[in-house]
Amino acid sequence: MEYGTLLVFLLFSLVFVGGGIAVNYLIMPQKPNDEKNETYECGIDPKGDAEIRFNLKFYVFALMYVVFAVEAAFLIPWAVVYKSLSGWAPFIEAVVFIIILILGLAYAWKKGDLKWE
């Protein structure tokens, strides 16, 4: 009997979604033209080839931002609950984590990945 409820829910959801798509297809205006079929990019008419090779430094810079933003997101909850933690172990773990972050930043800096040219 439990599977019957699941089956009814699944069928209802499929009919609901399928009905919505069918009604949308029936009432939408069918007037395609060249302007509607063009690629839209921020109001600028597209020109040339869409395949542009970007410098690898853009990707490295963006990846470094994501890594450091995520790691900062790990430090915020730790800082919120720090007073409720007991002993030196949480503090030492956070210090080791921050040292690893600093070493990664120093490596990226020395490698020249932070230079925006």
User: Is 1 contained in some domain?
Assistant: no
Q: What is residue 104's predicted lDDT score, i.e. its pLDDT?
A: 87
Which of 22-26, 68-72, 97-101 comes out lowest in average pLDDT? 68-72
Whether 85 is covered by a domain: the verdict is yes
For residues 108 and 116, what is the distance between their CA atoms, to the nearest angstrom? 13
pLDDT at residue 1 is higher than 80: no
Q: Which stretch, 19-28, 60-69, 100-109, has highest mean pLDDT?
A: 19-28
Residue 90 in domain: yes
The count of structural domains within the chain is 1
Q: Which domain holds residue 95?
A: 56-111
Report the predicted TM-score, pTM, of the whole model to 2 decimal places. 0.50
Mean per-residue pLDDT, 6-35: 91
The residue type at 4: G
- Asked if residue 23 is part of any domain, the answer here is no
Residue 49: inside a domain, yes or no? Answer: no
